[in-house]
Amino acid sequence: MPKYPPVSALFTDFYELTMAAGYFANDLTGAATFSVSVRPSDRKRGYYVAAGLEDVLDILANFAFTPADLEFLRSTGSFSPAFLSFLADLRFTGDVVAMPEGTLFFPGEPFLEITAPIIEAQLLETVVLNTVGFQTMIATKAARCVHAAQGHPLVDFSLRRTQARDAGMKAARSTWLAGFMGTSNVLAGKTLGIPITGTMAHSFVTAFDSEREAFMAYARLFPDATVLLIDTYDLIRGAENAVQVARYLQENGHRLIGVRLDSGDMITGSHQVREVLDRAGFAEVKIYASSGFDEYKIAELLRAGALIDAFGVGTKVGVSADAPFLDIVYKLARYGDRDVKKFSPGKISLAGRKQVFRNLNAAGRPVADIIGTRREAFADAVALLEPVMRAGHVLGPSPTLADIRIRCGQNIAELDVEFKSLQHPADFPIRISDRLSTLQRDQSSSNPE
């Protein structure tokens, strides 16, 4: 399985194709710039973590219609032979600027801009949004969990309940780059090199005649990698059975890694289990927990003094349950030599090719962002959008996932805590540069007549 499975050029909304046919028939062949951003009205998150760029670049670099694709389009009766011939030769020839994966950004800021002949850029809208939207959403959710966990390791357990398979693969990647310690997803281990982890489910315990027998069978087979699931029947008796396994392993020169709680009151339960383990001399055996965790529940349990060493984080993070879609848009900002925007109520977009500048203080911490035009420069500010593709060619290798993970960790560490609050993050200061503001007024000539 390749790192990124091939994506059909037909993975798009039909209107992208009918619009493309409209541009083609009317000789609209100029360059268009589309800006990708999260709408400012999306107030569920204080910050976002850019993710999915490597995947997008792979899609753009391999964009092409196959003969079977063209035959299907012909069969719809909607397209002229001339347009279908044009599609047969179409490749992506544009330029892309983007924030590197792992960069923190804020609502309203473009984190990706594509400039290409309008037909190419239009046809790719759907797949670009689909690709960066989900990964950015999950990396953001995962970064919030990492923040809430205050150094306790987190592992991605979401695979069984992600929204289908591609999401399961991308959830493993996105949670890892945001700072998780591993995933249960074996295929993500193989294709992406993410550490894989996991021990047993309730079915394993119930398949044996007794819990103790199941525990011993597992420990004999994996004497250096056993975490026992102790809540199938009764938590305290499960912990007592775990102590017996810990003794057995100790006598044979190994040690029990941990026990896992997957139900019930985690505060009381973790204290009770800790006591059983400690009393038996197994203070080093870790307590793992899993059960509908997300950043809110992790924060709450740690605040309440739950004795949990590491968290298995599943469904609620893998689908970003409290905010399961990103209000992400792909807006035409410039066509030919004209900057454009739309005026629909609540959906106004910023015209023009843009750059995002991050002001850093003396300590290197971000204090404000400026959304400006592409060619401005500001003292003490770094430009976040970097060229990543030119004339359809990817510029240099993508950073490794490990490097992306480091960038994300640094970005989060540098952000002041007030902006990282889970419930009520402060608004990060963002201003529009004078030059970009002027440009918004100047392009009001676009009109319905």
Distance CA 255, CA 245 (A): 9
Rule CB under 8 A: choose which of 168, 179, 366, 425 binds its own copies.
168
Instruction: Tell me how far, at minimum, the Cβ of 206 lies from its own copies, in Å.
Output: 4
Give the CA-trace dihedral at 413, 415, 417, 418, to 10 degrees: -170
Length of the chain: 449
Token code pair at residue 45: 């998150």
The residue range among 11-19, 108-116, 400-408, 415-423 that interacts with its own copies, by the rule CB under 8 A, is: 11-19
Distance CA 308, CA 290 (A): 10
Distance CA 19, CA 86 (A): 14
Instruction: Tell me how far, at minimum, the Cβ of 357 lies from its own copies, in Å.
Output: 26
> CA-CA distances (angstroms) from residue 205 to 113, 235, 257, 299?
52, 13, 18, 30
Q: Under the criterion CB under 8 A, does residue 92 sit at the interface with its own copies?
A: no
Instruction: Tell me how far, at minimum, the Cβ of 381 lies from its own copies, in Å.
Output: 30
Q: Under the criterion CB under 8 A, does residue 165 sit at the interface with its own copies?
A: yes
Spacing of C-alpha 169 from chain mean position: 11
Q: Which amino acid is at 96?
A: V
Rule CB under 8 A: choose which of 106, 288, 335, 428 binds its own copies.
335
Site for its own copies in 428-447 (CB under 8 A): 446-447
Please say which residue, 28 or 84, places its beta carbon nearer to its own copies: 28
Site for its own copies in 121-160 (CB under 8 A): 122, 125-127, 129-131, 133-135, 157, 159-160
Token code pair at residue 10: 């037909």
Site for its own copies in 227-246 (CB under 8 A): 231-234, 237-238, 241
CB of 65 closer than 8 Å to CB of 9:
yes
Rule CB under 8 A: choose which of 39, 44, 161, 271 binds its own copies.
161
CB atoms within 10 A of CB 41: 10
The residue range among 18-26, 302-310, 393-401, 410-418 that interacts with its own copies, by the rule CB under 8 A, is: 18-26
Rule CB under 8 A: choose which of 197, 270, 290, 411 binds its own copies.
197
Taking alpha carbons only, the member of 69, 110, 101 closest to residue 87 is 69
Instruction: Tell me how far, at minimum, the Cβ of 2 lies from its own copies, in Å.
Output: 12
Please say which residue, 165 or 365, places its beta carbon nearer to its own copies: 165
Please say which residue, 342 or 365, places its beta carbon nearer to its own copies: 342
Instruction: Tell me how far, at minimum, the Cβ of 284 lies from its own copies, in Å.
Output: 22
Spacing of C-alpha 121 from chain mean position: 23
Distance CA 158, CA 156 (A): 6
**# of chain residues touching its own copies (CB under 8 A):** 118
DSSP 100: P
Please say which residue, 140 or 241, places its beta carbon nearer to its own copies: 241
Instruction: Tell me how far, at minimum, the Cβ of 20 lies from its own copies, in Å.
Output: 9
Distance CA 104, CA 410 (A): 10
> CA-CA distances (angstroms) from residue 245 to 33, 185, 273, 344, 357?
63, 27, 15, 65, 57
Burial of 90 (0-12, 13-18, 19+ CB in 10 A): middle
Instruction: Tell me how far, at minimum, the Cβ of 427 lies from its own copies, in Å.
Output: 23
Rule CB under 8 A: choose which of 64, 196, 401, 422 binds its own copies.
196
Site for its own copies in 338-397 (CB under 8 A): 340-347
CB of 354 closer than 8 Å to CB of 437:
no
Rule CB under 8 A: choose which of 5, 281, 387, 429 binds its own copies.
5
Site for its own copies in 247-276 (CB under 8 A): 262-264
Please say which residue, 36 or 384, places its beta carbon nearer to its own copies: 36
- Compute φ and ψ for 141, nearest 5 degrees: -60, -45
Instruction: Tell me how far, at minimum, the Cβ of 190 lies from its own copies, in Å.
Output: 4
Site for its own copies in 46-75 (CB under 8 A): 68-69, 72-73
Rule CB under 8 A: choose which of 40, 117, 198, 409 binds its own copies.
198
Distance CA 93, CA 391 (A): 5
Rule CB under 8 A: choose which of 281, 305, 324, 429 binds its own copies.
324
Rule CB under 8 A: choose which of 39, 84, 181, 315 binds its own copies.
315
CB of 370 closer than 8 Å to CB of 379:
no
